[in-house]
A and B are shown apart, each in its own frame.
Chain A
Amino acid sequence: MIGRMLRLFWRQMNVQLQIRTFNLYTLLLLFVQPFVFSAVGMVLSQVAGNQKPDLVYTVIGGGILGMWSGLVFSSTFDIGRDRRDGTLEFIIGSPTPYSVVEAVRTLTNVLTGLVSLLAAFLVAVLVFDYTLDQVQVLPALVSLLLIVAGMWAIGVFLANFLVWSRLSGSIVEFFEFPVAVVCGFMYPIRILPEWMQAISAVFPIRWALEGLQAALYGVSDMNFYAGRWGMALALGLLFWLTAHWMERKVHDLIRVSGEMSSI
C-alpha cells in the first residue's frame, strides 16, 4: 500500500515535472514574481529612509509569496491543462481515486514552490549578509513544515473548484492575491485593519507563517509557538476534511453535468 503510494507519487511527479514544472518558464515564475515584489519592497524601504530592508518580511516573505503564487498558478494550470487535453476524464475514470491523484499533484506543486523560498533565503544570506545566528532552528523547521502542510491542504481544497467547472475554477484565480494580502507574507498581520486580520485567521498558513517569522527573529517563547502551531494544525485539518468531503460531492456533480470533458 505504502509502496503503491510512493510509486504513484514518483510517477505523478515525473509527469508534472516533464509537462510543466521542469519547464524553464515555470521556474522563471517561481523566481521572477517574488523577486519583483521583494525588489519593490526594498526600494520602498529605501525611499522611506531605512538603511537596510527588513530581511524576514521583505526578502524571505517574497519567497513565501512565490511559493503561494506558484501553488495556485500550477494547480490552476495543471487542472486546466488536463481539462483541455481531455486527460481529466481518463484520470477520473481510472480506479485510483481522483483525490489521491490530486493530493500527490498538489504536494509536488508545494514542494516545487520551496525553490522560491530557498532562493529568497540565499539572496538574504549572500546579498544582504543576513546572519542566521539568532534563528531558532527547530521552531523554524516545524513552522516551515506546517506552512507546507497548510498550503497543501488549501491546495487540495481549491483543486475541487477547478475540477468542478471552469466557472468555479475562475474563483481560484481570484483568490490568489486576496489570500496573499490578508496572510501578510511580506508584512506583519498586525498592520492590517482588524477585519482583514479576522479573515486571515481562517488560513492555516497565516499561523504557521507567524511561527516561522518569529523563529527567524529569534523568539524563544515556546507558548507563542504552541498557539500558532495548534491553530495551523487544526485549520489545516479542517481544510483537508472539507476538501475531502467536497471531493465526493464534486465527483458526483461533474458526472451529472459532464463538465469534465468540456474545454
Chain B
Amino acid sequence: MIRWLTRYVRLYFIQAWFAYRSLFSWSTPFNYFVSKFGFSFFALIYFVFIGQFVGLSDPLYIVLGNILMIPATNGVSGISLTVGNERQFGALSYLLGSPAPRAPLFLGRGFFHILDNFITVSVALPVAILLFHYDASQANFPLVMLCVLITSFTTSGMGFIMGSISLVNRDGWMITSTLSLALYILVGVNFPVTALPGWLQSVSYSLPMTRGILAARMALVGSGWDSIASLILGEVLIGMLYIAVGYGMFLVLERRSLVNGSLDSL
C-alpha cells in the first residue's frame, strides 16, 4: 500500500517536473507572460466592456467571476492539451505504451499550472479589489482560497473526459477547447446562473465549478463556513463523480485508441 502510494506520488511529481521543464525549455519570459495574460485576462476585459455597453453599472461581478474561473480552466483543458501536445511531438505512443498508471501521469502535468494559477488568483483578486474600490472588509479570504483550490481539482474530471476525446480524435483538443468556452455561459462567471432559462440552470448545477464559484463569491461578501459548507460539499461530490466517470472513460478510450492506431496521427 505504502509502496503503491509512493510510486504514484513520485510519478505525479516527476511528471510535474517534466511538464514544468518542457514548459520553459524553449520559451522566454515573454512566453510566460503570454500564457499568463493570454485568453483569460483579455476575455475578462472584453466581458467587462460588453457589460458596460449593455448598461450594467457594476463590472465587479464579471471581474471576480473571471478571476475565479482561472484555476478551473486549466483543470478542464490541461489534460486535453497535454494529449494534443504529446501527439504533436509524436510522443503519445511512448507515453501510453509505458506501464505507468494514467492518473498521476496526466494529472501531474497540471500540477505547476494549478500552483501557478493559484498564485495568479491570490495576486489578481486583491488587485481587482483595490482597483474597483471593493469593500473587502467582510471578506473571508482563507475560505475564498479554499474554494479556489477545490475547483482547480474538481474540474480535472472534466479534463479527463475531454482528454479522452483527444485520445481517439486527433482534432479532439480543438473540439474540447472550443466547447469549454461554453463554461463562460454556464457556470456563473459573468452573471448569476439564475439569469439563465430554467433548463439551462439544471445543466449548470450538474457541472463542477458552478457551486465552487458561487461559494467563493459568498465568502467574498463575508459568508462563513456554515453557510457555504453545503455548496463546497456539493462541489466536491460533483467533482468526484466527474473524476470517476472521466477516468473510466479515459481508460476505455485509451484501449480504443490502441485498437485503431490513432495515437500519433496528426
Binding site for B on A (CB under 8 A): 23-26, 28-29, 32-33, 36-37, 39-41, 43-50, 53-54, 57-58, 84-85, 166-167, 170-171, 173-174, 177-178, 180-181, 184, 186-188, 191-192, 263
Contacts and interface: CB of A to CB of B under 8 A. Distances in A.
**Most chain B CB neighbours (cut-off 10 Å) among A25, A167, A181:** A25
Say whether chain B's binding surface is mostly helix, strand, loop, or mixed.
helix
Given A167-B30, A177-B43, A187 B38 contact: no
Contacts of B34: 170-171, 173-174
Contact of B46 (A23, A50, A181): A181
Given A28-B178, A29-B174, A174 B54 contact: no
22 contacts: A24-B171, A28-B179, A32-B179, A33-B181, A37-B46, A40-B191, A43-B191, A46-B195, A47-B56, A57-B53, A84-B266, A170-B34, A171-B30, A171-B34, A177-B42, A177-B43, A180-B42, A186-B50, A187-B50, A187-B53, A191-B49, A191-B52
Contacts of A178: 42
A58 B52 CA distance: 12
**Most chain A CB neighbours (cut-off 10 Å) among B31, B45, B49, B184:** B49
A36 B173 CA distance: 18
Interface in B32-88: 34, 37-39, 42-43, 45-47, 49-56, 88
B185 interface: yes
Given A40-B47, A40-B185, A49 B174 contact: no
A50 B266 contact: no
A85 to B, nearest CB: 7
Contact of A43 (B37, B174, B195): B195
A50 B54 contact: yes
Contacts of A23: 171
Given A170-B34, A173-B38, 20 more contacts: A25-B175, A32-B182, A33-B178, A36-B184, A37-B46, A39-B185, A40-B50, A43-B185, A43-B196, A44-B56, A47-B192, A48-B51, A50-B55, A84-B88, A167-B26, A178-B42, A181-B46, A187-B53, A191-B53, A192-B49
A77 to B, nearest CB: 9
**Most chain B CB neighbours (cut-off 10 Å) among A32, A40, A184:** A40
Interface of B: 26-28, 30-31, 34, 37-39, 42-43, 45-47, 49-56, 88-89, 171, 174-175, 178-179, 181-182, 184-185, 190-192, 195-196, 266
A110 B106 CA distance: 37
B50 A37 contact: yes
**Most chain B CB neighbours (cut-off 10 Å) among A28, A39, A44, A187:** A44
A27 to B, nearest CB: 10
B55 A170 contact: no
Contacts, number: 113
Contacts of B52: 187, 191
B265 to A, nearest CB: 12
**Most chain B CB neighbours (cut-off 10 Å) among A41, A177, A180, A181:** A177
B54 A45 contact: yes
A24 B174 CA distance: 10
A36 B54 contact: no
A40 B245 CA distance: 29
A141 B223 CA distance: 54
B45 A166 contact: no
Given A170-B30, A186-B53, A181 B266 contact: no
A36 B38 contact: no
Contacts of A29: 174, 178
A188 B49 CA distance: 9
Nearest to B179: A32
Given A170-B34, A174-B38, A187-B53, A36 B182 contact: yes
